[in-house]
Amino acid sequence: MTKNPTKSASPKARLEKEKSDNYILRLYVAGKTPRSVAALDNLKKICEEHLAGRYKLQVVDLLESPQLARGDQILAIPTLVRKLPLPVRRIIGDLSNTERVLVGLDLRSKS
């Protein structure tokens, strides 16, 4: 925790703040397959429940922009990438197993 968040002008400090506070999530899908739709639904549900108000969600359809697959090292579809907070985390699958998603996002300890 920074001592004085209101005075944080430096980008580093802001990053620190975002890291602790905000989740930036990116979900990679390929077209509107049932699995993609399910993944998005599942994700939204989890976020609303556990990260309400402190997350940003981007959905990337690789059929529309295939060049983006390389940047985030996407192999499996669907893949959820937690860009922030660091470290980067990846969760593959339709996110139907909520428990595993929470563990993967460090929202719950593995035990």
Partner 1 sequence: MANTRKQLPKSPTGIQGLDEITGGGLPKGRPTLVCGPTGCGKTLLAMEFLVRGATQFNEPGVFMAFEETAKDLTQNVASLGFDLRDLVRRKKIVLDFVFFEPGEMAESGEYDLEGLFIRLGHAIDSIGARRVVLDSIESLFSGLPNQHILRAELRRLFRWLKEKGVTAIITGERGDGTLTRQGLEEYVSDCVIVLDHRVNDQISSRRLRVVKYRGSTHGTNEYPFLIDEDGISVLPVTSLGLQEIASTDRISSGIPRLDSMLGGAGYYKGSSVLVSGTAGTGKTSVAVLFAVAACRRGERALYFSFEESPSQIMRNMRSIGIDLEPWVQKGLLQFQANRPTFAGLEMHVMTISNAVKAFKPQVVIFDPFTSFINGINENEVKMMAMRLLDLMKINKCTALFTSLILGGSASDQSQVHIASLMDTWLWLDDLEIGGERNRGIYILKSRGMAHTNQIREFLLTDHGVELRDVYVGPSGVLTGSARLVQEAQEKAVQTLREQEVEGRQLELERKRNVLEAQIAALRAEFAVQEIASMKIIGQEQAQEAQLAQERTDMGLSRKADVKSNNKKGVSK
Which residues here bind partner 1, judged by CB under 8 A? 28, 30, 35, 38-39, 42, 62-63, 66-67, 69-70, 73-79, 87-98, 100-101, 103-104
CA-CA distance, 45 to 94, in Å (whole number)?
A: 13
SS3 4: coil
Q: Which residues are 59's β-sheet partners? A: 27
When the beta carbons of 55 and 95 are compared against partner 1, the nearer one is 95
CB of 99 to partner 1, least distance (A): 8
Q: How far is CA 43 from CA 13, 49, 109, in A?
A: 29, 10, 19
When the beta carbons of 50 and 100 are compared against partner 1, the nearer one is 100
CB of 55 to partner 1, least distance (A): 17
43 near 27, Cβ under 8 Å? yes
CB of 20 to partner 1, least distance (A): 20
When the beta carbons of 2 and 73 are compared against partner 1, the nearer one is 73
When the beta carbons of 41 and 48 are compared against partner 1, the nearer one is 41
CB of 22 to partner 1, least distance (A): 20
The CA R_g of the chain, rounded to the nearest whole Å, is 15
Q: φ and ψ at 77, to 5 degrees?
A: -130, 130
